Structure 1
Amino acid sequence: MAKAQPIVLGSTWGIRNIFQSLVAILTTTLVVTSIYLTQEGEQWSNERNKLHSLSKCNLFSGKWVFDNESYPLYKEQHCTYMSDQLACEKFGRKDLSYQNWRWEPHQCNLPRFNATALLERLRNKRMVFVGDSLNRGQWVSMVCLIESSVHPTLKSMRTIANGSLSIFKAEEYNATIEFYWAPLLVESNSDDPVKHRVPERTVRVQAIEKHAKYWSDADILVFNTFLWWRRRAMNVLWGSFGDPNGVFKKVEMVRAYEMALRTWSDWLEFQINRNKTKLFFVSMSPTHQKAHEWGGIRGDNCYKETDQITEEGYWGNGSIPSMMRVVENVIENLNGRGLNVELLNITQLSEYRKEGHPSIYRKQWEPLTEEQLLNPKTYADCIHWCLPGVPDTWNELLYTYIFYR
């Protein structure tokens, strides 16, 4: 009689356990994947909603909101390349609330500035600011905004072209953020980056190639010009400087400005690689040199100002609508010719910030006279801007256009 074989349960239960384990693992994987995809979907949905919101929003109509938790976006003393012209805290300013204001458009919120994301976008690229000292201030602001995200041994600054071109480089990204001094965009007798104060300003309104060769291959170009045109008339030269056959003529300010911008726009149309280069023009930066315009004492200016102008739509006489219209018309004409130039309209939002200027809190490039020392408002700088401050917002707007518009 055959022996009864014992029933072996181990192998059956082992298979069952393995099966149950696989089911558990598969279930867990499906749950985790579902959660991940849900989060990814929510993130994409949020990005899509943000993109839709920003695409429909007028970024330049809004209000300033006090925010001392998120702002400033960097510390003045921590910016390696801060300019003494803009370092108000360093030169004695005690009221630092000008650093804590955030621009909030009426219909949306600006995205948070992400230095690493911008550096990644700029990998192997050139961003070049071209214009006057106000555009240089925006360039300094941009360098301050991103340089803390670059290792100290992997960043550098150099100046070439007789001092006209300053180049900040983030080595790890092979990216440069540059500033080129061309206060009138076209060629002029104020083109020397140091010795540009001349009694009679003269422009060659049809000549731009001397400057343009330094920024013709940039990937992002940010232009401005306004401040140096503010005079009733300008000497316009047809011909070359030093040419005895050159023709000079006094031309009314707005007309000369338009002639120069037409030369600039023609150059862009025929020389810019439309598949490569993004183009921006920053509108006029307001000055606050006449306090009576905002209800202050006649004869005063931005000196000792510590609060903003709260009247929505305030517009001072330092900003000239006819020149703004010239810019708008030239850009509209370019867009009609198939070349897209974005206008960063920083004028209105900056008009409210009468307290944001250096005033007397900056390096003085020439010794002050006794009369000036006795009356500080006579040498107050109500044109440029303290950093951190208003130009950081200009760059937040630029950042928004680069990523979301």
Structure 2
Amino acid sequence: MVVNKQSSYSTLPSFNNAKSRTTLHCFNQVWILPCFLTFLIAIASTYTLLFPNIHKILHLTPTVPPHCNVFDGQWVEDNSSTYPIYNSTDCPFAERGFSCLENGRKDTAYINWRWKPKQCDIPRFEAGKALEMLRGKRVVIVGDSLSRTQWESWVCMLMEGVENKESVYEINGSNITKTIRHLGVRFRDHNISVDFYRSVFLMKKDYKVPAGAPNNVRMTVRLDEVDDIRDQWVDSDVLVFNTGGWWTENRLFNEMRCFFQIGDSLVMGMSVIDGYKMALNTWADWAEANINPNRTAVFFRTIESTHWRGPNQCDVSREPLKETNGREKSEKSDIIIEVLRKRMKRVPVRVMHLTAMGSYRSDAHVGNWGDNPGMQDCGHWCLPGLPDIWNQIIFTYFLPTISSFNSHHN
């Protein structure tokens, strides 16, 4: 919410009295035109005093009504030219593993579904306006492969408004890979940086396990310490976080042989959910102490819905589901919302509650159209596709309500 301090009528008595005397005097004279001009000047002066920031107020009015919950809605088919926003084969920053059409997917209906909130509409994305809004800004997206998908979508969406495509480049000359810790794309002509930092737990991982640890412990997640690349996140204007997909008992304890650590002590009996809660509290304490709320707009995505039928088995449908079968709920999403509500006092965090939104979209997963045709994937999303909607909501709903993203137009 943007608050503009305005002068009240009660603070301007002498000015109001003067205006009244001038008006009465003028109507007793022959010189109607000069007096009428004086009257107009008085009105304009009052308007200026009372509403010095009127252009800002008008510009900062949200494009979506503030009472609207943009995450409460339904998917509607949209066969207009709105979607897809970009062609992944034309975007050099779209990972081949998420480019389903390039990997042989024949049905294209999944890219033509629009998210329709119950109480409002999400404005159409315009790349040119988004580029101008982000001019001179740094965007940082932190998390796992789903965050990398969002980062790729973000870059490809902005690329649609760039005339000179060669002016957009990865700052290190790196290829888009699954394991690289940092990827950064620079939009030279608009002085925009869009960075991705791989941090699947948001916490520090340690391969030097405490002395006396059991032989099955190969590494630890420090529940009391945020990732050691955390300092690279804070110098940003947009900061988007996500963690959750790696927080499962099988992945942590069995596949990775990774256990929890607090201080110098190994914690063997803690559940994944309890570890997740503690990690989010640690993150919240760090964010409160280190992020500048006057500069940085912080977002936190909730858990994504998956549509696995069994171990490494999934069925990708041709259209969104009619029923979610409970997938619209997530214990981890509830934990995210609760922790942020309780712990974030100085730094506002905008929660992107995407769990329900994705629960219908069994049609939007990578399925058999990833970079490994022999492996099904009902955990990630095709590009273009669902992650574009996440970014569209940020571009058209959240950022226009934040004053620092309108400074170029004041």
For residues 321 and 209 of structure 1, do their structure 2 counterparts lie closer, same or farther at Cα, with a shift above 3 Å needed?
closer
Answer whether contact 1:282 1:344 (CA < 8 A) is retained: yes
2:140 is equivalent to residue 128 of structure 1:
yes
Residue 154 of structure 1 is aligned with which of 167, 177, 194? 167
What SS does the corresponding residue of 2:361 show, helix, strand or coil?
coil
3-state SS, counterpart of residue 202 of structure 1: strand
**Deviation per residue, 1:251-278 (Å, 9 max, x gap):** 1011100111111111111111121111
Q: CA deviation at 1:133?
A: 0.2
Match in the other structure for 1:91: 103
Q: Distance in 2 between matches of 1:363 and 1:52?
A: 38
Letter in 2 for 1:266: D
Please say if 1:170 is aligned against 2:181: no
Residues 308 and 123 of structure 1: is their aligned pair in 2 closer, same or farther, counting only changes over 3 Å? same
SS in 1 for 2:116: strand
Larger Rg: 1
1:60 is the counterpart of 2:71: yes
Residue of structure 2 in register with 1:179 after alignment: 196
Structure 1 residues 332-351: aligned runs within 5 Å: 332-335=341-344, 337-351=345-359
Q: Of residues 266, 284, 305 in structure 2, which corresponds to 1:247?
A: 266
* Normalised TM-score (structure 2): 0.73
Q: Distance in 2 between matches of 1:332 and 1:144?
A: 32
What is the rounded CA distance, in whole Å, between the counterparts of 2:359 and 2:172 in structure 1? 32
CA distance in 2, matches of 1:268, 1:61: 27
- Does the Cα contact within 8 Å between 1:334 and 1:340 map onto a contact in 2? no
Q: Aligned residue for 1:72?
A: 84
Please tell me whether the aligned partners of residues 185 and 211 of structure 1 are also in contact (alpha carbons under 8 angstroms).
no
Unpaired segments ≥5 residues, structure 2: 1-54, 208-215, 254-258, 403-410
Aligned partner of 2:400 in structure 1 is: 403
| 3-state DSSP of counterpart to 2:350 | strand
2:333, 2:353 within 8 Å by CA — same for their partners in 1? no
- Post-superposition Cα deviations, 1:133-165, rounded to whole Å, max 9, x if no partner, equal 001101111111011222223111134999311
Match of 1:331 among 314, 322, 340: 340
> CA 1:204 to 1:290, structure 2 compared with 1: closer, same or farther past 3 Å?
same
- The reply on whether 1:267 has 2:262 as its aligned counterpart is no
CA distance in 1, matches of 2:124, 2:219: 41
Once residues 160 and 347 of structure 1 are traced to their aligned partners in structure 2, the CA distance between those partners, rounded to angstroms, is 34
Pair 1:272–1:209, CA change in 2 (3 A)? same
2: CA distance between counterparts of 1:206 and 1:227? 20
Q: 1:183 to 1:49 in 2, by over 3 A?
A: closer
Structure 1 segment 295-314 matched on structure 2, within 5 A: 301-311=313-323, 314=325
Q: Following the alignment from structure 1 to structure 2, what is the Cα–Cα distance between the partners of residues 221 and 49?
A: 20
Aligned to 1:11: none
Matches of 2:173 and 2:282, distance apart in 1: 25
Deviation, 1:50, is 7.3
Return the alpha-carbon distance in structure 1 between the equivalents of residues 268 and 173 of structure 2: 33
Matched residues in 2 for 1:49 and 1:156: separation? Answer: 31
Q: In 2, Cα distance between the equivalents of 1:277 and 1:49? A: 17
CA distance in 2: counterparts of 1:338 and 1:116, whole angstroms? 33
Instruction: Say whether the 8 Å CA contact 1:282–1:346 is kept in structure 2.
Output: yes
Contact between 1:98 and 1:355, CA under 8 Å: does it hold in 2? yes
Instruction: Give me the TM-score of the superposition, normalised by structure 1.
Output: 0.74
Identify the residue that residue 139 of structure 1 maps to in structure 2. 151
Contact 2:365 2:380 in 1 (8 A): yes
Of the candidates 111, 116, 124, which is equivalent to residue 128 of structure 2? 116
Change in CA separation of 1:139 and 1:49 when aligned onto 2, cut-off 3 Å: closer
SS in 2 for 1:206: strand
Q: Secondary structure in 1 aligned to 2:196?
A: strand
Is the 1:189–1:203 Cα contact (8 Å) retained in structure 2?
A: yes
Identity percentage of aligned residues: 32
In 2, the alpha carbon distance for the partners of 1:129 and 1:160 equals 19
Residue segments in structure 1 that go unaligned for 5+ positions in a row: 1-43, 191-197, 240-244, 292-298, 373-378
Cα deviation per residue 1:347-396 (whole Å; 9 max; x = unaligned)? 101100001111111112xxx8xxx6xxxxxx210000001111011111
- Where does residue 365 of structure 2 map in the other structure? 357
Deviation string 1:186-221 (CA, Å, 9 cap, x unpaired) is: 11259xxxxxxx996631111215121111211110
What secondary structure, in the 3-state scheme, does the structure 1 residue paired with 2:362 have?
A: coil
Q: 2:237 aligns with which of 219, 228, 236?
A: 219
Please give the alpha-carbon distance, in whole angstroms, between the structure 1 residues aligned to 2:120 and 2:241. 26
Q: CA RMSD in A?
A: 2.8
1:282 aligns with 2:301: yes
Secondary structure of the corresponding residue to residue 251 of structure 1: coil
